[in-house]
Amino acid sequence: MSKGNSNAGMRKNKKTDLTISYIALVVISIIWLFPFVGLLLQSFRSYDPKVEYGGMVDYLIPKTFSLDNYRFLFSGETNFLKWYGNTMIIAFFVALFQTVVILCVAYTLSRMRFKGRTFLMRFWLVLGMFPGFLTMICLYFLLKQLGLTQEGAIPGLILVGVASSGMLYYVSKGYFDTIPRALDEAAMIDGASRARIFFTMTLPMSKPIIIYTALVAFMGPWCDYIFASYIAFGHDESYNVAVAMTRWVWTNDYQGYFTRFCAGGIMIAVPVTILFMLLQNYYVEGVTGGSVKG
């Protein structure tokens, strides 16, 4: 066999190889996208019995295309806009404060050596092994003492979301560890205080991890249907979208709300997804950079 032949064979091999890869990827993409397409299609099925039906059906494509579900969400018949706003507020402030807290903790643990540092890290690791639900009832009564349940549920949720976030320092610490300490030392010789180094040197270099941390923190509250429902405790105006909308699926009081659930789901998914797509690169950097180091 001459060399040329083998090369041609390899090229041919490569080509079939790639074709198979493309087919596999297309199949995977279809599977991955199907639920979202389904969600979208169902959201265009009217819940009005004169037009179609809002409950469960055994077909995918609506018989008539309608925007009734979206109209319902915006009409003020329910507090959907309020819930949406609540979630937005919670997500924004949790993202803001949580990022600050995490960066503070991560920087300290990465850069400073003080007595009790390893103890603190071990202690937090141990705390993390307790299931969170265990503490829900207790947190509820703590917040109630502070007046942060029911009407005050939104600041309450922000407080709880931020209060314990110091324990999530891990990924950011991993990132700070990669910034050479020599830079700090040089600045210190020049007489800069640690605070100055943190604010003027380290933070500007940490844009990816800041965005990653904020993005993760921002996405969290959109899925909180357990603790948020505890804290709102039946007060409709304090619900977030997740609490309000899981009721549409789980509770018998809301029959025929399935298509409205789908529409609401789309309303949530679209902005979060766009934000995520825009910041995807930072996310990848955060996930790969921070979470795999020992």
Sites for another protein among residues 40-59 (CB under 8 A): 49, 53-59
- The least distance separating another protein from the CB of residue 151, rounded to whole angstroms, comes to 9
Contacting another protein (CB under 8 A), which of 147, 185, 205, 207? 147
- Residue closer to another protein by CB (options 49, 204) is 49
Q: Angle at the Cα of 67 (from 63 to 72), degrees rounded to 5?
A: 125
Q: Which two tokens stand for residue 199?
A: 């604010």
How would DSSP label each residue in 198-248?
Answer: IIIIIGGGGHHHHHHHHHHHHHGGGG--SHHHHHHTT-GGG--HHHHHHHH
Q: Report how far residue 184's alpha carbon sits from residue 198's, in angstroms, rounded to the nearest whole number.
A: 9
| 197: DSSP letter | I
Q: Report how far residue 66's alpha carbon sits from residue 72's, in angstroms, rounded to the nearest whole number.
A: 11
- Residue closer to another protein by CB (options 19, 67) is 19
- The least distance separating another protein from the CB of residue 195, rounded to whole angstroms, comes to 4
| Binding residues among 229-248 for another protein as defined by CB under 8 A | 233-236, 242, 245-247
Tell me if 130 contacts another protein by CB under 8 A: yes
Tell me if 228 contacts another protein by CB under 8 A: no
Contacting another protein (CB under 8 A), which of 10, 27, 33, 205? 33
Contacting another protein (CB under 8 A), which of 115, 119, 189, 190? 115
Q: Which two tokens stand for residue 292?
A: 């795999």
| Binding residues among 87-106 for another protein as defined by CB under 8 A | 101, 104-105
